[in-house]
Structure 1
């Protein structure tokens, strides 16, 4: 399948390799089935009706979203089991109340006062967000009294069903290699399992929902877990490759950036591709802060990594590329360089659309 995007681009384009995406989706679906857990993928990475339908072809029926706008977008495409994995607050009440009659809807609670003054017209599921180590938000698993009081309060309501405990082990992104990732996974499951037992006399049986791409991509067993919610695996990225969650060949999006200027004296090229395209997420690579690494263009998309060609600085529209002298000498303005992103979720969100390798545009929410 040959690429058909224009050889001369007027602006950056985010390319999507459908074959790689479908391979990633199939592999995770098989992993979930083998582990006996429900797959509720997080759609914040791709945010696309088209890509969402590829999940549906594999039997996925339940999804995760990160915003009410995203929930509304996917409800419009027929999704009928959605968890909003962002902490609920009272300002969300009216929009949640409008969604709940149209889909089995789940909210996430991270503060005991989040439901003060709130009642729903249609029953919603509630998940208690547990901080298992990432220190972003969620209840401290040691705050058992707070959790027991909240569970008791929810048990007395007919507009909310306490569904279970939910966690995102975001600190797995700091792990390097399978053993380190597995340690985060084991600690997460241990904390959630003990907490579920501690709440059982108040809440009855609770489900456990976990989800981060590093653990879901590398660990084969999820004892005691009911569902997993990975999201980034649909595309993967350089961060996941550095962690050890994927191979370079699994990364399914690449940014095509036109070259706009050459600066041989300082060993740099300038491309049209800045922070408004890639985001400002960076990573350390060989002791250098980078925002992307180049890949070889190929007739069927892209091929080998070119780690010597690095996106090293970003302003709003400009990308500064460090490259060997011979690369700069043979490169001309208007030519296209391809870069794998550090964080595909934010890159996709920044771009707002994709172009498949066959030239078909794929729109996103918003």
Structure 2
């Protein structure tokens, strides 16, 4: 929570970080990984901040994961030197940037296609070094990769490239967020690892040893002690948490380290409130049960609609919220909300401690 004089510190809308909650989240996940004997390589696409990535490393992370090459460049600029780029690198200019970044950091690349692999192999050949890669396997999300069996032949073909090392198999259990119960989410986590191990076993029978099985998603991370075969985990949203993680049973309101603070600018009718945070602040990811954010302390308020700068809140029953009041809203999906902000206002004990620049925002290339 922020002290009552926060309006003197910044104008709304803004994103506030509770540093005590953030650090508790970082410690909790690091402890889970340590007890499970699994490396923690958090995904920084959630916070896009070297400040927070360095905190994750302080708490025991073995390295970091990024989504895009531009994010990797930002992190390397701040001394972070063990980076998984969990996204295919395609195109002459990106390969040139990747080659330059190899001089500053130990890089691993995620991919699922021979064409992409050949580009990375060419960089390795030019640099006279083997480059580690992770290969995506589709374990149910149906985004990157092929299924466990269909992945085998393409991976063997990729492994024949002389300047690549197939270091690991990776997946993302984003489909777990659609499950309704803890038991179903746990089952997704276990099935995910079993499928990855099936691919690894089939590759082993063909003479290719793959040491790492890297699993991802904050929805399933809390079950890491029950997940077989995993050697590494890549949760991202756990640092902040959001409404999606809450709905998956992975967090409560008190575990959400970031919230949008927005001012009520109009109350045209008894059942309609307008705030100064729209899709350019809260992001436009809808929640399956309705609304665009959880209004803390007001269970009868639903952020029903967003335009660019306006948020329209529906009031069920009575509410004493007035124009000028400030509401605290937990976004549905924290990652795009952070990517819309230039900075995060970081509080401890209700007092502003620092302002964290979101240096990786917009680095989508």
| TM-score using structure 1 length | 0.89
Shift of 1:67: 0.9
Instruction: Quote the residue 1:143 is aligned against.
Output: 150
Matches within 5 A, 1:1-366: 3=3, 4-6=5-7, 10-91=11-92, 92-116=94-118, 118=120, 119-120=122-123, 121=127, 122-144=129-151, 146-154=153-161, 157=162, 159-200=163-204, 201-265=206-270, 267-285=271-289, 289-296=290-297, 306-324=298-316, 326-327=318-319, 330-357=320-347, 358-359=351-352, 360-365=354-359, 366=361
Once the two structures are superposed, residues 310-334 of structure 1 have per-residue CA deviations (whole angstroms, 9 ceiling, x without a partner) of 111000111001124542xx43333
8 Å contact kept, 1:309–1:321: yes
What secondary structure, in the 3-state scheme, does the structure 1 residue paired with 2:6 have?
Answer: coil
Deviations 1:179-238 (A, max 9, x none): 001111121111111110111233224311111111112442332211000000001111
1:273-312 deviations in whole A, cap 9, x for unaligned? Answer: 0111111101133xxx20012114xxxxxxxxx2211111
**Structure 2 CA distance for aligned equivalents of residues 117 and 29 of structure 1:** 35
Q: Tell me the TM-score normalised to structure 2 length.
A: 0.90
CA distances 1:238-268 after superposition (whole Å, capped 9, x unpaired): 1111111112211111100111111225x11
CA distance in 2, matches of 1:63, 1:82: 5
Unaligned runs of 5+ in 2: none
Q: CA deviation at 1:272?
A: 0.6
Residues 1:59 and 1:8: Cα distance change in structure 2 (over 3 Å) = closer
Contact 2:13–2:260 (Cα < 8 Å) also in 1: yes
Contact map agreement 1:294 1:310 (CA 8 A) in 2: yes
Q: Which runs of 5+ in 1 are unaligned?
A: 297-305
The answer (yes or no) to whether the contact 2:40–2:60 under 8 Å persists in 1 is no
The structure whose residues are more often strand, as a share, is: 1
Task: State the distance in 1 between where 2:49 and 2:6 align.
Answer: 20
Q: Displacement of 1:49 after TM fit? A: 2.0
SS at match of 1:93: helix
Give me the whole-angstrom Cα distance separating, in 1, the residues matched to 2:232 and 2:274: 45
Q: Answer whether contact 1:264 1:325 (CA < 8 A) is retained.
A: no
* Mapped contact 1:182–1:219 kept (Cα < 8 A): no
C-alpha distance 94-223 of structure 1, shift in aligned 2 (>3 A) = same
Partner of 1:301: none
- 1:152·1:202 contact (CA, 8 Å) conserved in 2? no
Aligned residues: 348
